């Protein structure tokens, strides 16, 4: 947005950035997570194994991890709009190519690698962009964008399920690709660099730290470690909630409703923790929320009937979803705006690795013991590690956040 734009209009436009970011995240993450819905139709049609098709999701997480740092750094250099547009085009291409794949390897490449890399171009650059538009109400703004992404299981997944009932999986992926093109391309054009970066584009000031110094700094290393441990804590319980409930005698459809309630509660958690972060400080709220996440994860050990499952799932979804936007806020408080894409890309990479571990470790634990008990005990231990790691933010000197204030 040009420098001559009145400040009142900029104040208004930052909320347009939030709305566009939430919409972009919802559609992109929803396209990625259409695979669980299409898993069985793809297997029945092609004869490919469930494990082989599911591997595409593992590949996507790995691509998301690797791509986050690349896209985040690129957005610092050329701006978030260009990166999000490129990611959108790659996402459309990946979905279309996956829809015509004739071999499992080709499907894993197109849906796993290409769609995963494309999704990485959306999250980190958008989060970095939004943090730069807000000096006040930053936690709420980031939480609203995250809430938009959290809407994916409630919007895009049902869309995929509805489509595949009337069409084959290949046509369904093509329709999803068309939805991505129709929604994300126009929305990406609304994304703008934060005004402070636009003003400094012609003659950027000397940074108070280099990117290399930032990536070796205590705040960044703490962010990466805490992000990894946080996602490793909740990824296993999220993925195995339905299976665990079924082993406890809960009917399958009722078990699926537990997962849905977890997602709905997460929407509230994002908004509440965003408001609390603005009021009391993101680092302080993150520490308390991570402690709550660890304790609630252990609560699954005591869930046996549907009512207790609903209670624990609501609390767990509320806490684990609520903590994630706070990482972007803390990153903005500790690093210069011009490297936000790189920093948030690094924390997203760590988060993606943590998310990739939970499903496979949970499966190994169940296969070895015929029980999920150690999964939840392990999640509690990881959660306490995340809590202790986040506590280190409270011991950092205050000058870190003050030196980079926009």
Gap between the Cα atoms of 161 and 164, Å rounded:
5
- 175 and 267 fall within a common domain: no
Same domain, 140 and 252: no
Residue 260 sits in the same domain as residue 337: yes
Cβ–Cβ < 8 Å for 380, 297? yes
User: Last residue of a domain, which of 164, 193, 222?
Assistant: 193
Q: Is residue 404 one of the residues assigned to a domain?
A: no
Last residue of a domain, one of 129, 162, 193: 193
33 belongs to a structural domain? yes
User: Of 193, 224, 256, at which residue does a domain stop?
Assistant: 193
| Residue 340 domain-assigned (yes or no) | yes
pLDDT > 70 in the chain, percent: 91
**What is the mean pLDDT of the segment spanning 122-149?**
82
- Phi, psi of 249, deg, nearest 5: 95, 10
Domain-located, residue 341? yes
Together in a domain, 224 and 162: no
24 and 142 together in one domain: yes
Q: What is the CATH number of the domain that holds 278?
A: 1.20.1250.20
- What integer is the mean pLDDT of 40-56? 83
236/306 same-domain check: yes
For 203-250, how does the pLDDT look when each residue is reduced to its tens digit (9 = 90+)? 444 456 787 888 888 889 999 999 999 999 998 888 778 778 888 888
Which pLDDT does position 97 carry in this prediction? Answer: 97
pLDDT band at 337 (very low <50, low <70, confident <90, very high): confident
Instruction: Please check whether residue 252 lies inside any domain of the structure.
Output: yes
- Residue 204 inside a domain? The answer is no
Structural domain containing residue 315: 211-396
pLDDT over 50 at 202, yes or no: no
CA-CA distances (angstroms) from residue 361 to 175, 233, 379? 34, 11, 11
187 in a domain, yes or no? yes
Residue 206 pLDDT: 42
Q: In this structure, are 137 and 244 located in the same domain? A: no
> In this structure, are 39 and 151 located in the same domain?
yes
Instruction: Check residue 399 and give its pLDDT.
Output: 44
CA distance 126 to 28: 12
186 and 127 within one domain: yes
How many structural domains are present in the chain? 2
The answer to the question of residue 206 being in a domain is no
Q: Indicate the pLDDT class of residue 168, thresholds 50, 70 and 90.
A: very high
pLDDT at residue 200 is higher than 60: no
pTM of the model: 0.75
């Amino acid at each position: 947005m040009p420098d001559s734009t009145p400040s009142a209009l900029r104040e208004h436009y930052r909320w347009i950035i939030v709305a566009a970011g939430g919409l972009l995240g919802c559609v992109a993450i929803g396209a990625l997570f259409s695979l669980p819905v299409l898993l069985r139709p793809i297997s029945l049609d092609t004869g490919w194994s469930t494990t082989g098709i599911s591997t595409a999701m593992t590949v996507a997480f790995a691509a998301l991890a690797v791509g986050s740092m690349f896209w985040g750094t690129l957005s610092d250099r050329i701006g978030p709009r260009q990166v999000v547009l490129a990611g959108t085009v790659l996402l459309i291409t990946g979905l279309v190519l996956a829809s015509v794949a004739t071999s499992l390897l080709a499907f894993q490449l197109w849906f796993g690698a290409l769609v995963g890399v494309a999704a990485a171009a959306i999250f980190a650059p958008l989060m970095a962009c939004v943090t730069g538009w807000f000096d006040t109400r930053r936690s709420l703004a980031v939480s609203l964008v995250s809430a938009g992404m959290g809407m994916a299981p409630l919007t895009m997944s049902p869309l995929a399920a509805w489509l595949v009932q009337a069409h084959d999986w290949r046509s369904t992926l093509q329709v999803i690709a068309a939805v991505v093109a129709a929604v994300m391309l126009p929305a990406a054009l609304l994304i703008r660099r934060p005004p402070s970066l636009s003003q400094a584009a012609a003659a950027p000031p000397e940074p108070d730290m280099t990117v290399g110094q930032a990536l070796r700094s205590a705040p960044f290393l703490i962010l990466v470690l805490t992000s990894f441990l946080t996602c490793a804590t909740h990824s296993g319980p999220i993925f195995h909630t339905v299976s665990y409930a079924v082993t406890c005698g809960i009917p399958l459809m009722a078990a699926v409703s537990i997962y849905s309630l977890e997602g709905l509660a997460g929407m509230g958690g994002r908004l509440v923790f965003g408001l609390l972060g603005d009021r009391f400080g993101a680092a302080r709220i993150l520490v308390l929320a991570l402690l709550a996440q660890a304790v609630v994860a252990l609560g699954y050990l005591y869930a046996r009937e549907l009512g207790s499952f609903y209670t624990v799932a609501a609390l767990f979804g509320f806490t684990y979803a609520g903590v994630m936007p706070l990482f972007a806020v803390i990153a903005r408080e500790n690093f210069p705006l011009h490297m936000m894409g790189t920093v948030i890309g690094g924390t997203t990479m760590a988060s993606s690795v943590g998310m990739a571990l939970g499903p496979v470790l949970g499966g190994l634990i169940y296969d070895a013991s015929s029980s999920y008990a150690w999964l939840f005990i392990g999640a509690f231990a990881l959660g306490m590690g995340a809590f202790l790691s986040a506590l280190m933010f409270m011991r950092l000197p205050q000058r870190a956040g003050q030196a980079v204030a926009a």
